[in-house]
Structures are given as C-alpha cells and as structure tokens.
Structure 1
Amino acid sequence: MEFSYLQPGRPAIFKDKFVTKVNECLASYTDGARGEVGLIGLPFSKTSISMSQASDAPKYIRACLSTFSTFSGERDKDYKNFKVLDFGDVQVHPTDMEESIERLRISVGEMLAKKASDRYILLGGDHGVSYPSIRAFGEHYGEIGVIQWDAHHDVRNLEDGGRTNGTPFRSLIEGGHLKGENLVQIGIRDYANAKVYHDYTKEKGITVFTMDDVENTGIVPIIKKELDRLSKSVDFIYLSVDMDVVDQAFAPGCPAIGPGGITSRELLTGISAAASHPKVKAMDIVEIDPSKDFRDITSRLAAAAMLRFMFNH
C-alpha cells in the first residue's frame, strides 16, 4: 500500500522534529491537573465605548503562540516541558451585560479555586473584563496591587454609560475592591484623557507615570521601583495590559490606537521585569480587535507578552 499524504482532521503543516512551538505547551484543564500557568479567555467586548470585536482576541492570541518556539537562546533554556493549563473561554450572555460581567467574575474565581497553578494569564476582551477579574483575584488572595499599562486612566464616570471599558478602575476603587494607592498606571498618553479624570487619580492616590515619565526615566526602573513599593503593602500583584499603551505603529489592532505610545520592545522588557517578582501572580491582556489588525501584528505582540510572563526564570 502506498503512503497516504491525506491527514483527515489534522492541519497540513510542516513539522521540524527538533522544534517545539509554544502552542504545544497548552493542555485543556482536567480535574486534578497541575501546571505552571493557568490560562482563561474572557471574550467580552460589548461594554466597549467604541466599535470593537475584541471578544475574538483570545482565539487569535492562542493561535499566534504557534509562531514562537519554546527555546530561549538568550537564556540557553528550552521550555518545551512547560505546562499551560487552558480553562477555555467563558460563555457570556448574548444580551445582558451585567450578567456577563458576573459570569466572568464567577469563572475566574472557579479557575482560582482549582488551585491548579500559581500564576495566571487572562485574555480579553475589552478592558471592562478587568473589573470582574481583579475582583475575583481579590476575593481569593486578599489585598491586591495592580500595575496597569494604558494610554488612558479608565476611571470614567458611571452615569454616562454604565460600566464600560473606560470604567474598570473606578468601579474597583469605588466598590472597595482596590485601594487607589495600590494602583500604578504606566504609559498614560497626553491629550488622551479629561482633566476631571486626571484630578480623580490624584484624589484617590493613584500613582501615574505618563509617557514623558517613561521617556525620561525608563520603563524598567519605574516598574522595579513600584514593585518594591507595592510588595510591602499587598498580598499579590496583578498586571493589566491594555495594548493601546503601545504606539499604533506596533499595535495597529487596538480600537483606540494613537501615536506616542511605548514600543513593542519596551512592553516586553517591562513585562519581563514585572513577571520576575515573586508577588506578581497574574496578567490580563486586553483591547485587541483582530478585525482591525494587520497580519496579526497586535495579537503576535500579545503572544510574545505571554512568553515574557510565563518564561521568566
């Protein structure tokens, strides 16, 4: 019988027997399983104040993991045996936004209750998903500190549109889930926010580093300083990465793109610096709309950010 080149149900892709791709590290969660990192998708973008299909981002980011190998030449280390437990995507309600937000909180809490890993990655979705996610982490781990990469403060008022992707941190602070002094914002862009929200951050004791601060001081020194400060007063630290902190040249797939943001390299080195701290337990990545992207540039950068968070030792 001749060899058949038909492979029903399998992709016809080239496979080098010596190369392991990062997507091969993903395994669907089963009861009792343990892994180095837990992964969950939060595919919700109906709270976006601009048109957004960011709910599609989790599957695109996962797919982009296949473009990276598990070997780090800089560390001379192969992470091919690294295990990422994938909890899948949360099933949100088709019309009820408050119900969807509650489902996200419950689902993140359910993942944490499994105690299947010590660190977690959450793939949004718009930035509104950070509100239920951070709430769930606070309910399980205690006092929380947050480092937020963002062009915007995301402390908009709740009267004009309810809970949106512009309100997660106001919702957390006013709900008593996060202290203002335990929130650090990095990369806030000029001419991207209103004065009343600038004043709100000062009133609540939020630590804000603008793009001018990043330019003058450097992102790694800023992160190391704030990690040292936060670690003295919180039980764990959560990284919230709004991809629109990155300049539009490097992240064209964000609903709110703009010039003057950080470079892709600054994002990756910043995440590496943060993820190496023992109190950093989780990272969310939000605000990627694959329908607006070009050649998956933004999703690939998000996948690279995942690697920096996961493979940091």
Structure 2
Amino acid sequence: MNKQLSVIGVPMDLGQMRRGVDMGPSAIRYAGMVERLEQLSYTIEDLGDIEIPRPKHQTDVKHDNLRNLHEIAEGTSRLAEAVDQVIENNRFPLVLGGDHSIAMGTLAGVAKHYNNLGVIWYDAHGDLNTADSSPSGNIHGMPLAASLGIGHEKLTGIHGYSPKIKPENIVIIGARSLDEGEKVLIKEQGIKVYTMHEVDRMGMTKVIEETVDYLKDRTDGVHLSLDLDGLDPNDAPGVGTPVMGGLSYRESHLAMEMLHQSEMITSAEFVEVNPILDEKNKTAGVAVGLMGSLFGETLK
C-alpha cells in the first residue's frame, strides 16, 4: 500500500436530513487518526476540508425530487478535483465524510486514473436509488447509481465524464436495507452483493476471500467506500441511518486486515460519522480503529 497518504475532509451534510454529519471529519481527526497512521510509518499530508456550498434558503430545496442537487454537485466536483490531484501526485487519497453523497466526488476523482476500477461498498444500504426510485429524495442514497451513470446528469456527469465504474466491478458487503428499486437495479446490472444473510451464513473470512478473488483479475485498482452504518448500531451508534443487525466490530476489523493483506486497496473513504448522534465520539474512534487495520495494524 502506498505509504504516502493525503487526507481530505468533506463536511457535507446536504445529502440527508439529519444535521451533524458535517462534523464527521473533525471527529475522526480528533479521535487520533493522524497519530494512529503515523505509528504505522505512513507519511500524512492533511489537506484540510473541502469547502461545501450552503443552500441559499434554509428550507429544503428539491429539484426533480433531489434535495440540494446543485450544492451537492458543486461540492462533489470540488472533491473530485482534489482527489484527482492527490493521485497525480502519486499519493493515496483517504477521504473523510460527511454523508455518503461525497462518494460521487471521490469516485469521479479516482476512476479517471484506472481502466477498470473496482469498488468495495461496505454499507447497510445499496445507495443505488435515483430520483425516480428514491422515497426521500436524499442524495446520500444515490452515489453508487450515479457513479454507474444512472440518474440525474448533474450527478452522473461530475468531473466531466460518465460512467465512472462498471457494475461487474462492484462488491457490496453488509447490505440489509435495500429499496425495491435498488433490488431491481442490482438484478438488472448483475451487481455482486453480500447481504447480512450471506455474511452470517458464510462468515466474513469467506466473504472477503471471495471478494478479493472476484476483483483481483478484473480490476486495476480498488476503492473502499466504508459507511459506518454498515456496522451494527451497538458498535457504531453515531450514524444518521442506523439499521439493526449489522456487521460487528470484530468482523469489520477482520475484513480490513484481510483487505490490507490483499494489497489491492488504492483509495478509501470513511463516511457518515455523526458526532451529534454519537456516544463520547465512539463511532469516530471505531472509524480510526478500522483505518488502523486497513493500513496494516496487527496485534503481533
């Protein structure tokens, strides 16, 4: 794994309705992220936070059933440019959220540098909605669809090209809350999904082994997009859309350790940490712990 890390914070809370997730990057830094990774001999460059535009009106503004469309498109475009530059500088981009809508910007900046970028989507949700299928109009439920080129052109066209990724290069792990439209899209696109049923039945070791085998020959880089609501709310309470019955703290550390051993992860983001909903910054601490495992921390 590239030992030169560039950290980008994205204080975005426009993709959903619960305030506070914009403080996620600060909470993760406060939980000791830089010190943890420096102990693993990484050189850390913290680029600070992307400036996120605010809606001109305090009321929720929807365009074509998409809440805060223009501001999210602008903010994620800024993120895409920053991530693009990090990779140009031969550094590993580590992005801190913010709500999961930021993944549109991260993927836009990353995928430009690969012919077949793989994506591991570690999440309770599929994030495969569009304006037509979304019950809420919240864009944090749409970034994976937009990155596939499905959805509103202001979201699919971030950073000037579309699509960013191919459906056969995606693996979703930990899904347990999928809308009907997302289920249809998963079947139509042939997206590989390990729901909690598969994780429980197979065990995390087998899930990651299969994921690595599935992606290693078809991709030339792999992005990890980890939503803290992929974990069970008992382990990660500070998230905006908690879903009971999630991945455990121990399972998640095992997954990160195995992904480190695979040597295939070329970029990563950790999203949806909401300190207002948290318990003594517990969820940010979990995020930092998982980063430690992803970047090579071991017990011996």
Assess same fold via TM > 0.5: yes
Match of 1:182 in 2: 169
Does structure 2 conserve the Cα–Cα contact (< 8 Å) formed by 1:145 and 1:237? Answer: yes
Total equivalences in the alignment: 268
Matches within 5 A, 1:221-240: 221-240=206-225
Paired with 2:204 and 2:292, the residues of 1 have a C-alpha distance of 19
After TM superposition, the structure 1 = structure 2 runs for residues 1-313 of structure 1, keeping only pairs within 5 Å, are: 35-48=3-16, 50-65=17-32, 79=39, 81-95=41-55, 96-115=71-90, 117=91, 119-159=92-132, 164-174=139-149, 175-189=162-176, 192-311=177-296
Q: Secondary structure at the match of 2:53?
A: coil
- Cα distance between partner residues in 1 of 2:130 and 2:279: 33
Preserved contact between residue 86 and residue 93 of structure 2 (Cα < 8 Å): no
Give how far 1:213 is off.
0.6
SS in structure 2 of the partner of residue 281 of structure 1 = strand
**Unpaired stretches in structure 1, ≥5 consecutive residues:** 1-33, 71-77
Contact preservation (8 Å) 1:93, 1:100: yes
Distance 2:125 2:72 in 1: 22
Deviations 1:276-307 (A, max 9, x none): 22221111111111110001110100010111
CA contact (8 A) 1:58 1:125 kept: yes
- More helix per residue: 1 or 2? 2
User: Normalised by the size of structure 1, how large is the TM-score?
Assistant: 0.80
Q: Is the 8 A contact 2:40 2:296 kept in 1?
A: no
Q: CA deviation at 1:194?
A: 2.0
Which runs of 5 or more residues in structure 2 are unaligned?
56-70, 150-161
- Aligned-residue RMSD, C-alpha: 2.2
- Once residues 306 and 176 of structure 1 are traced to their aligned partners in structure 2, the CA distance between those partners, rounded to angstroms, is 28
Secondary structure at 1:239's aligned position in 2? strand
Identity %: 26
Quick check: 2:13–2:20 contact (8 Å CA) kept in 1? yes
Summarize the Cα distance change of 1:172–1:163 in structure 2 as closer, same or farther, 3 Å threshold: farther
CA distance in structure 2 between the aligned counterparts of 1:123 and 1:65, rounded to whole angstroms? 13
Q: Do 1:143 and 1:235's aligned partners in 2 also have CA atoms closer than 8 Å?
A: yes
Deviation at 1:198, TM superposition (A): 0.9
Superposition TM-score, scaled by structure 2 size: 0.83
Partner SS, residue 265 of structure 1: helix
